[in-house]
A and B are shown apart, each in its own frame.
Chain A
């Protein structure tokens, strides 16, 4: 029971850390939560991904969103147009995740992510 509670506290704290990244970078936080569940709490890959999706169901970014909206940093139209695609694409992606070997996919994604990050950093330095 005690170890279960310690695990609960650990998960909450890890998620709070993901939340800081979520508010700071305008993201859901799953990109950190999934690896953390796997590395720190020994979740299987699929289970970590399914659990991360649970954490994304409630509007967890609401408080961060309010801070951005107050400062006028929201394009409502773009946001509304994105929602249906992300929802439908999400079903397709989950369907795929069950059918393909996800390791290769993840490696391709990691490359993409790293390149995007490097690009952003370089363009921030140049400007």
Chain B
């Protein structure tokens, strides 16, 4: 079990660096299905994993090539901190089943948002232009 968890961390980490995300979005379902955790327990454990700066090594790579907006990043951190408290208060009293269903819907929404972005290049939105300009 220990080695499964270690490998799972490594796999999630690759996504962290590749996509600039925290990784919880993959980690939570993985803990529910691979480790048989309850939904609340998986989410709390994911938040625990995110407390140390796990993305620091990845950030350093982006920083080197100048792909970081520090001001926007700091503002976002403040916003996430504030919003996170509200989200935690909403989640804890829900049943595991309700939370699981919500999480599933959220993943599909996230997928659709990301898809819109990655299938761009049609020139409809500034996004596509930006992606091209980025190389």
Interface residues of A (CB under 8 A from B): 8, 11-35, 37-39, 41-71, 73-76, 78-79, 81-98, 102-103, 105-107, 109-114, 116-125, 127
Contact = CB atoms under 8 A, between A and B. Distances in A.
Nearest to B108: A117
A112 B110 CA distance: 11
A1 to B, nearest CB: 14
Given A87-B13, A89-B9, A95-B61, A114 B107 contact: yes
B71 A55 contact: no
Nearest to A42: B126
A86 B9 contact: yes
Contacts of A85: 5-13
A60 B54 CA distance: 12
A66 B86 CA distance: 12
B45 to A, nearest CB: 5
Given A54-B74, A60-B84, A110-B118, A30 B79 contact: no
B44 A73 contact: yes
Contacts of A92: 13-14, 17
A59 B111 contact: no
A20 B83 contact: yes
A8 B75 contact: yes
